[in-house]
Structure formats: structure tokens, C-alpha cells
Amino acid sequence: MQRRRFLRLSAAAAAGAVFPRAHAAPATVPKPYSWEATPPVDSAVAYIRWMVENRGEDPRYLRARFERYQNMVGHVDLWEARNKRAFLLTPRDEFCLPSDRGVIYDVNYHSIGFGVTITGPRVVSRMTSTIDVKMGEKVLEIGSGSGYQSAYLSNLTDKVWTVEIIKPLAERTRAKYDELIGRGYTEYRVINTKQADGYYGWPENAPFDKIIVTCGIDHIPPPLLQQLKTGGTMVIPIGPPGAQHILKVSKDDVGGQIGVKRSDIYGGRPVPFVPFTKLDGDAVKGTHNQR
Ligand SMILES: C[S@@+](CC[C@H](N)C(=O)[O-])C[C@H]1O[C@@H](n2cnc3c(N)ncnc32)[C@H](O)[C@@H]1O
């Protein structure tokens, strides 16, 4: 019943119709997840139809997702077929505050409560494309926030760990994954979550092939560098509060010695991030900045 309703909506959405605000209860995913399945990108109509039939999603948000996809490909924020597919399959509209669903595919970051944000889609895609995650690689995210980034990663690999410092947010995000898994987003089963101070990484599961840090700090946390595999890549916002530079950090064996290379993924343009905070007992207090 639910599925037929979405299929009817999809034809109207494909025609560019405007929908009323009220919408049905969340749909379940009609077809099992497959690593081989990729939505078509030759047109918005074909993409929306495929997503409705295979994922049971709401056409209103699918149109916005497809338009953001085209914009990001044009701006070279999103590269490689694997990363494009991961963006297209991840329902960003499920991870924001319900009041922001209509604007969540715009370029901005948005509040998710607790004084923190879901990062803008262009920055998320550029950071994710930079670490170039391949199937089977182990990826650690610091700063789970809304859960969107790790949901996106779970479309690239089957081994994801994510750490969030704010306890009620970590619990809310865990509950969101569980709800979505219950609705058929079985790809989120590969996401391991914990509430902790991510400065110290997740040593029990190290080393990681890739690390993505989504909060800003003035230095690379030594425990994270240590938990990154030789040959691995980290992406991390580094700099003073409110003016970080997103760095790609590569750790390599250079003639028997470990070498660390850094490059700015925005060619020198600062990108502000929420601070990399610190746990003092059970309370979040201050930051890990050294200056
Ligand atoms: C920009 S926000 C969230 C972005 C997130 N990746 C998403 O997809 O919504 C950064 C997150 O980092 C978290 N954070 C800050 N310091 C942290 C720390 N020491 N350990 C773990 N998480 C931290 C914040 O609480 C916040 O949720």
C-alpha cells in the first residue's frame, strides 16, 4: 500500500510538482540492499523512479538530493563512481532535525541541537572523496553528530567506527541507526558507535585505513596519527577556532621511516568547524587546542 503511494508520487515528482508539507509515515525499504545496485544518473526522473522503487524514499527529497549531486559533480566536490553512488544512496533528510528536511540539501551546515551541526553536503563530499574509501577498508570517524557521515561511509565499506563526545547526541544517533536498520537500511549494520572523547581514537579496533575528523583542532591528535595505518589517509580540520583548514594527511613509509604529508583540500581557503572538545570526567569541557 505504502509502496504504491510512493510510486504515484514519483510520477508527479518527476514532473516537478510541488508537494504539500504533510507526508505519510516513514516507508520501509522495498528491496534488499545490494553493493552492486547503483541508481541511474542520466536524469532526475530516472534517479527518482529508481530510488522510489528500490529504496522507498520520498520523491521531494530525492529531487533535492539529485540537484545537489549535479552541483557537486560540477564543482568537483564529488569524484569517483563509488563516492557518487554513496552520496546518492544516503538519505541526508533522515539525519537532520525534522524542521530542516526541506532545506537540508542546500549548501549550508545546519543545527542538529546540542550546539553542534550537520556539515554542509559539499564539504562532506569533498572530505569523503579525499580519503577515497574502498570496500573492506577500516574507517574511523571522529564526531558522529547527526550520523550522516558514517551512513554515507557505510555505502563505501563494510567496516565503520564512529565516536561522539556528547552523550545524549550519541544515544540519539545510535537510536536513529537502529530505527533505519529496522526499516530496511541494513547497510547501517556495519556502523559501530561509541560515546567517548575521540581525541584518543578507538585503539581496540586500530589500525584504520582511513580517518575522518569532523570537528576542528589546532594540531593532529597524536593518538589518531598513531592509529592510522602506514599508507593510510586522514582528513581533518586544523587551525584556530572558526578558521580551520581541511587537511589531507598521508602517512607513508619513506625509506624505512614514517613520513607525514599534509595538503589543504581547499587550496588555502579556511572552513569553520565546531570545536574538538574535551571530556572532563563525564562533562564536555574546553577543547584539545594547545594554543
Ligand atoms: C560538525 S559536527 C558533526 C558532523 C557529523 N559528522 C555529521 O555527519 O553530522 C562535529 C561533531 O564532533 C563532535 N565532537 C567534538 N569534539 C569531539 C571529541 N573530542 N570526540 C568526539 N566527538 C567530538 C561534536 O559533538 C559534533 O557532534
The CA distance from 234 to 135, in Å, is 17
Q: Does residue 77 have a pLDDT over 50? A: yes
Task: Establish if 280 belongs to a structural domain.
Answer: yes
**Which of 7-24 are b and which e, b meaning 16 or more Cβ less than 10 Å from the residue's Cβ?**
eebbeebbeeeeeeeeee
Taking the CA atoms of the chain, what radius of gyration do you get in angstroms? 19
Q: Does residue 15 have a pLDDT over 60? A: no
Element at 213 (helix H, strand E):
strand 208-213
* pLDDT at position 25: 67
Q: Output the residue whose Cα is nearest ligand 1's atom 23.
A: 143
8 Å CB contact between 154 and 139: no
The model's confidence at residue 75, banded by pLDDT at 50, 70 and 90, is very high
- 14-23, 58-67, 95-104, 202-211: lowest mean pLDDT where? 14-23
8 Å CB contact between 26 and 3: no
Task: Establish if 113 belongs to a structural domain.
Answer: yes
Q: Which domain range does residue 164 map to?
A: 109-287
pTM of the model: 0.92
Instruction: Write the pLDDT tens digit of every residue in 172-197.
Output: 999 999 999 999 999 999 999 999 99
The model's confidence at residue 3, banded by pLDDT at 50, 70 and 90, is very low
Residue closest to 156 by CA, chosen among 79, 42, 223: 79
Task: Establish if 58 belongs to a structural domain.
Answer: no
The model's confidence at residue 271, banded by pLDDT at 50, 70 and 90, is very high
Q: How far is the CA of 29 from the centre of ligand 1 (A)?
A: 28
* pLDDT at position 253: 95
Average pLDDT over residues 4-18: 36
Q: Which residue's C-alpha cell is 520523491?
A: 59
Instruction: Write the pLDDT tens digit of every residue in 220-252.
Output: 999 999 999 999 999 999 999 999 999 999 999
Task: Establish if 211 belongs to a structural domain.
Answer: yes
The CA distance from 190 to 141, in Å, is 13
* pLDDT at position 26: 75
Average pLDDT over residues 104-119: 97
Q: How far is the CA of 74 from the centre of ligand 1 (A)?
A: 28
Q: How far is the CA of 9 from the centre of ligand 1 (A)?
A: 36
To test the pocket of ligand 1, the residue of 164, 224, 235 to mutate (highest count of ligand atoms within 8 Å of its CB) is 164
Q: Does residue 27 have a pLDDT over 90? A: no
Q: How far is the CA of 143 from the centre of ligand 1 (A)?
A: 3
The CA distance from 279 to 5, in Å, is 47
**Coil, strand or helix: which one is 179?**
helix
What number does the ligand 1 atom closest to the CA of 152 have?
8
Q: Which residue's C-alpha cell is 528491496?
A: 31
Mean pLDDT, the chain, as a whole number? 92
Average pLDDT over residues 114-133: 98
Task: Establish if 60 belongs to a structural domain.
Answer: no
Task: Establish if 16 belongs to a structural domain.
Answer: no
Indicate which CATH number applies to the domain containing 117.
3.40.50.150
Q: Output the residue whose Cα is nearest ligand 1's atom 15.
A: 276
Residue closest to 82 by CA, chosen among 160, 177, 153: 153
165 lines ligand 1 (CB under 6 A): yes
8 Å CB contact between 92 and 176: no
Task: Establish if 21 belongs to a structural domain.
Answer: no
Structural domains of the chain, count: 1
Average pLDDT over residues 5-19: 36
Task: Establish if 94 belongs to a structural domain.
Answer: no
Percent of the chain with pLDDT over 90: 90
Instruction: Write the pLDDT tens digit of every residue in 253-264.
Output: 999 999 999 999
